[in-house]
Amino acid sequence: MAILVLAKEVDAWENDISILDEEALHTMVSASNHVPVLSDIEPANNQPLLYVPLPKRGIDRGDDSSLLPKKDVSLHYEQDYADNSHMDVNHKMKYPTILLEDIASITKVDCTADSVTVTFNDTTVFAKAQSIWDSKRDKIIILVTNNVGKCNAIHERAFFLATHVDFNPSTLVATATSTRAGLETIADFTEISFGHVPAAAPGTVVKRAIHIPVSDTIRSTRSLPRDTVIYEGPHLMTYVDHASFSSQVTFSGSFKYSWRSGGLRELYFNIAANFDANLDLRTIVDADFQTSFSYNLPPLYYGLRIPGVLELRPTVQYSIGADISASGANRLSTNFQLSHRGASIHIDLLASKKTTISGGTPNFSGRTEKEEEADVSFNAKTGVSCSASAKLFGRTIDFSGGTTATSTFNSILESTRSISAEFKGRKKTGEICESRSDRKPSFALDIKAFTSRHQRSVVKVFEMSGPSPDHCY
């Protein structure tokens, strides 16, 4: 079967943003894209995934290099009780910085309003620390703590600006005269990567490759009860005989923030998705009528949190819709099945021209039948929308992005003569239908990537012709 792939850009969203009602199913006469604002949503029946500060795996905490203050530091976070999922937060600091948790010989860290006290258990390491840190005397260094107590809140690291360090060899205690500081005063740049996309050192280019660990994949399923009314108009009503959806969605991405200018330098999401849908719809028309509608299932919210650093809220939502036109009373039935694997979307929230969609070939099957002689056009649609919004360092960012994939099964059924109501279709007598309904159905997949900053979509459309119908209508 030949597949025609078209790619184009459009300058604006086709529809305005609307606020979704997460408590109820609802139908809209016109469809819309929705990018949830972080402060407006709450997870549904789940808790945010918590990432806690831990030493990076594989480092040698006994290596003397951990004693050396560095301006480029990488802070590691892992999902609680998970083996694979992690995030890295890279900082380019204004001052040389020491990550105390990376030094194995430090046994205790205590903090007051004006000091940080560090206790060692190894005289050799203590002497090396004194030699190295004394070389920074009269120069500012940053101490990063990661322990519960007065130093930092639970699941958070704290930064202390130290102006002087005293060493007591008899107790192996180093006391730094210091004050707690925020990143806005001690850092130049911060970069965050998540979903196993490796963070490059600050100032280097991040490779835009999607890595998909199983633990980072959001799996969801939804279905509707039989006889659910998804549209009711003056002369038309559409019911669900069967509607089921399933998806596997993986989010990854990177943030890069400049503390100097107070703005984002880089912000992108990668979304990898598989999607399946199976629809059986029943429509009753009692007069000449046409309409378009979209029915949205309640969105599914998921949370991801690094306390004090990042909150990310991915959202997944399914929808059903149709464009229907009938020249008179009729009863219609439509079956539509879709399976789409391996779609990859890169969404750049700061540079929309860098947004790309690639991969994935959809598999369709479908059939529409009618009982009366009226001409009918019935375009059944199903869709999935995946989006994410973020809060960075406790500040709500007005940057959200996502993708909406809409699949359409297009059917045009024509008739010039009366057909008995008990027939849903008649076999062809030859290559040509006796009535004028020998039309091929068609399938289309429309994928849009959207952002809140740039009202611009990158669209990729897959078009394929279905088989010639073996029935006349």
Residue-wise pLDDT for 80-113, tens only, equals: 655 566 788 899 999 999 999 999 999 999 999 8
pLDDT band at 467 (very low <50, low <70, confident <90, very high): low
Residue that terminates a domain, selected from 138, 158, 190? 190
pLDDT band at 451 (very low <50, low <70, confident <90, very high): confident
205 in any annotated domain? no
Task: Specify the pLDDT at position 192.
Answer: 85
Residue with the bigger pLDDT between 148 and 261: it is 261
pLDDT band at 446 (very low <50, low <70, confident <90, very high): confident
- 164, 141 contact by CB (below 8 A): no
Residues 183 and 328 in one domain: no
The domain total for the chain is: 2
Entry pTM: 0.71
Residues 9 and 107 in one domain: no
As a whole number of angstroms, the distance between CA 96 and CA 143 comes to 9
- 111, 160 contact by CB (below 8 A): yes
382 in any annotated domain? yes
Residues 21 and 75 in one domain: no
Residues 15 and 107 in one domain: no
57 in any annotated domain? no
Residues 103 and 26 in one domain: no
Q: How far is CA 162 from CA 53, 106, 156, 175, 209, in A?
A: 22, 17, 19, 10, 39
Task: Specify the pLDDT at position 458.
Answer: 56
pLDDT band at 197 (very low <50, low <70, confident <90, very high): very low
- 272, 244 contact by CB (below 8 A): no
As a whole number of angstroms, the distance between CA 223 and CA 13 comes to 28
Q: Provide the 3-class DSSP secondary structure of residue 234.
A: coil
Q: Which residue is listed with tokens 């789409």? A: 340
- 70, 97 contact by CB (below 8 A): yes
Residues 86 and 227 in one domain: no
Task: Specify the pLDDT at position 175.
Answer: 96
204 in any annotated domain? no
Residues 460 and 330 in one domain: yes
103 in any annotated domain? yes
Q: Which amino acid is at 324?
A: I
As a whole number of angstroms, the distance between CA 313 and CA 387 comes to 8
Q: What is the mean pLDDT of the chain?
A: 74
Whole-number CA gyration radius for the chain = 29
Domain extent, residue 303, equals: 4-46+212-472
Residues 219 and 176 in one domain: no
Compute CA 384 distance to the chain's CA centroid, rounded to the nearest angstrom.
12
Torsion of CA 449, 452, 454, 460, to 10 degrees: 10
The proportion of the chain whose per-residue pLDDT surpasses 70, expressed as a percent, equals 71
Q: Find residue 272's DSSP bridge partners.
A: 250, 344
Residues 398 and 349 in one domain: yes
Residues 342 and 254 in one domain: yes
Residues 305 and 247 in one domain: yes
Residue that terminates a domain, selected from 137, 157, 190? 190
105 in any annotated domain? yes
- 114, 178 contact by CB (below 8 A): yes
Which residues are within 8 A (CB) of 210 and not within 5 positions of it... i.e. 6 or more apart? 197, 250, 252, 270, 272, 344, 346
435 in any annotated domain? yes
Residues 324 and 465 in one domain: yes
195 in any annotated domain? no
